[in-house]
Amino acid sequence: MAPGRALAAALALSVALLGPLSPGARAGDCKGQRQVLREAPGFVTDGAGNYSVNGNCEWLIEAPGPQHRILLDFLFLDTECTYDYLFVYDGDSPRGPLLASLSGSTRPPPIEASSGKMLLHLFSDANYNLLGFNASFRFSLCPGGCRSHGQCQPSGVCACELGWGGPDCGLQECSAYCGSHGTCASPLGPCRCEPGFLGRACDLHLWENQGAGWWHNVSAGDPAFSARVGAAGAFLSPPGLLAVFGGQDLNSALGDLVLYNFSANTWQRWDLNPAPAARHSHVAVAWAGSLVLMGGELADGSLTSDVWAFSPLGGGHWELLAPPVSSSSGPPGLAGHAAALVDDVWLYVSGGRTQHDLFSSGLFRFRLDRTGGAYWEQVIPAGGRPPAATGHSMVFHAPSRALLVHGGHRPSTARFSVRVNSTELFHVERRVWTTLKGRDGLQGPRERAFHTASVLGNYMVVYGGNVHTHYQEEKCYEDGIFFYHLGCHQWVSGAELAPPGTPEGRAAPPSGRYSHVAAVLGGSVLLVAGGYSGRPRGDLMAYKVPPFVFQAPAPDYHLDYCSMYTDHSVCSRDPECSWCQGACQAAPPPGTSSGACPAASCLGLGRLLGDCQACLAFSSPATPPRGPGALGWCVHNESCLPRPEQARCRGEQISGTVGWWGPAPVFVTSLEACVTQSFLPGLHLLTFQQPPNASQPDKVGARAGAQSGMLKGWS
């Protein structure tokens, strides 16, 4: 499934087997043939109807000479996501640079080969087949064919139209887009922003709510930030830089450190020595103004667990905080793992892929210290089962003292894994794992992996990811953004709650991607850089979250953002608001609501906790909507309830008769009491395997009711 070259090399056939095609403008279904296309403009396609299953088809496009560029523009793409691929190489064999590995139904952007030759290889498995692809191609002596903004000269140089520049005429003059909050550093830019503004056109205002809920272009095509997938980065504040390290370009691992300066609107590459080895699929967090990275897959395919810290102060320097771990107290080499910073002291690392392609369920934490006090330790859970996962996300919610692990690939059999949309919680002090038992199929995201999750305000914001629904939708790259309220533990629809925005500065929502970098700027802006959507990406975009996530502290802005909702049904969908006396207002604190001002629709964590240990472990003094609040476990109906709602815990009566367990239900309010009081009323069946151990049954079951025949079987 990985977009790297290993799969392509294994599938590709020798170019020596390619047979020439009679000069023409179109190539169709290969039917096991290999075709050469030399006449442009033309089309390359797998032919009418669906492509063959278990197929391997190749098309070689040859320009008149190596000085020519080949420009491929897709009309459509439709293959089985994740399993059927169209590989595009710069050259006449799979040994050339891999430009793209395309799958699914998302139409790719134009692809350019600079060697004068382009090889296309379509691979399909034995499952099901779809329409395939159709693309046009042409030759040009100039990069990008001058992007329709210039004329290509015989010398291979573009003569650009007025208002455009750059080697491919792809750079618009700065004065055409630089707004009133920026100044042009040169005729071709960039636009340098005033304090409090960012974006390519300096149109995103950090200190106002204008533009909230919209995407903004920040950078694209900057040669200092080459397109990459599987990189890691974080926003460093201070000094206000986005730092990104490593990744891969589908051909090799990258080892460069690039930083984005938001006031200058430029990427800057920092070459330092010593520095971490080139890698991808690693993790990074911001800590004390530094970028801390850990693990990843190195250029030779090995996995590492080393920890490095980059400080931009004093010209910048890297420091090795911990070499690869050789003891059981630390993690093995990992890739595709997740990390979160806890209390600005601990780096928690969860899951990941090990050297033998096994999914790790381990949880480790690293004490961050530059004075010699750094060390690893394995976190042994006191309860619950840690998830074995890769490509998942993890964030820390301080009021709940909990790590949230979402999505990713989970093993389903010895050979296969599945994407999930489940969420696990881990209490960092009580060391208890639990899997939330409820999912919101309407508002929440579907199964995904290699997405990102970031904390903004009191929300976990999930963006992107690798998704696929067999036989229903061949979408591989998620473009949606999802909001999970961390205090109420429910998914909230941004489309329903975000206010109408203004078109100024609005960018089109970015096409889907995964294995990208996500970072948070100023508590209100989600930054997204790089990633993979059939080919590596080199853009940087910014999403300003809606006011229900973060409210800018502007002098002219009403503190109660709930008042912006004028419709009762919309107001009721915000877990922090309540419709009161004909208007939407901030919900009253728990326990203080009246009939005139009902409580908010904050559903709470308790409904998602399925056992006594989890219920009491995640009980918290932080009340909704900031935290779970004080919880108790009702033994009789196996439910976790807020303690003010203890009256809902009551035993059921049969024909008006109270059972033998009595009328008073058991309501557990301490974690220790789960062991002594959490016993369901009814009959308990203890199952022992041979040889039996009377103190440790192999299985325990409870029956709240029984029939006489069942009792006889147990006698």
8 A C-beta contact, residue 367 and residue 373: yes
Tell me what the mean pLDDT of segment 339-346 comes to. Answer: 98
Residue closest to 33 by CA, chosen among 13, 49, 9, 53? 13
Phi, psi torsion values for 276, nearest 5 degrees: -65, 155
Phi, psi torsion values for 266, nearest 5 degrees: -140, 150
Distances (CA, A) of 455 to 429, 486, 523, 552: 20, 9, 8, 16
CA 323 to centroid of chain Cα atoms: 28
Domain ranges for the chain: 5-140, 606-645+665-706
Give pLDDT tens digits for 573-621: 999 999 988 999 988 766 555 566 777 789 999 999 999 999 999 999 9
| pLDDT in the model for residue 16 | 29
Reduce the secondary structure of 407-420 to three states and give it as a string. Answer: CCEEECCCCCEEEE
Residue closest to 659 by CA, chosen among 677, 683, 640, 678? 683
Give pLDDT tens digits for 77-86: 999 999 999 9
Q: How far apart are CA 190 and CA 175, in angstroms?
A: 10
pLDDT confidence bin for 714, thresholds 50/70/90: very low
pLDDT confidence bin for 238, thresholds 50/70/90: confident
| pLDDT in the model for residue 3 | 42
Q: How far apart are CA 135 and CA 604, in angstroms?
A: 51
Tell me what the mean pLDDT of segment 253-262 comes to. Answer: 98
Q: How far apart are CA 238 and CA 179, in angstroms?
A: 26
Tell me what the mean pLDDT of segment 200-227 comes to. Answer: 92
299 burial type by CB count under 10 A (0-12 exposed, 13-18 middle, 19+ buried): middle
Q: Can you identify the CATH homologous superfamily of domain 5-140? A: Spermadhesin, CUB domain (2.60.120.290)
pLDDT confidence bin for 22, thresholds 50/70/90: very low
Tell me what the mean pLDDT of segment 360-389 comes to. Answer: 96
| pLDDT in the model for residue 564 | 87
Phi, psi torsion values for 373, nearest 5 degrees: -100, 15
Q: Evaluate if residue 25 carries a pLDDT over 90.
A: no
- 218-222, 238-242, 506-510: least confidently modelled range: 506-510
User: Whole-prediction pTM value?
Assistant: 0.91
Residue closest to 436 by CA, chosen among 384, 393, 390? 384
3-state percent helix, strand, coil for the chain, nearest multiple of 5:
10, 35, 55
Q: Evaluate if residue 6 carries a pLDDT over 70.
A: no
Please report the beta strands in 567-713, taking only residues with DSSP state E, as ranges in sequence order.
577-580, 583-586, 631-634, 639-642, 653-654, 657-658, 667-668, 683-687, 699-703
* Contacts for 475 with CB less than 8 Å, ≥ 6 apart: 81, 104, 105, 106, 467, 468, 469, 512
Give pLDDT tens digits for 284-334: 999 999 999 999 999 999 999 999 999 999 999 999 999 998 788 899 999
- 260-264, 278-282, 701-705: least confidently modelled range: 701-705
In this predicted model, which residue has the larger pLDDT, 680 or 505? 680
In this predicted model, which residue has the larger pLDDT, 45 or 25? 45
Q: Evaluate if residue 502 carries a pLDDT over 60.
A: no
| pLDDT in the model for residue 387 | 96
Q: Which residue type is seen at 225? A: F
Output DSSP code: residue 648. Answer: G
Q: How far apart are CA 426 and CA 397, in angstroms?
A: 10
Q: How far apart are CA 145 and CA 143, in angstroms?
A: 5
Give pLDDT tens digits for 624-675: 888 899 999 999 889 999 999 999 998 766 666 766 567 788 999 999 999 9
Q: Which residue type is seen at 221? A: G
5, containing H or E segment: helix 5-11
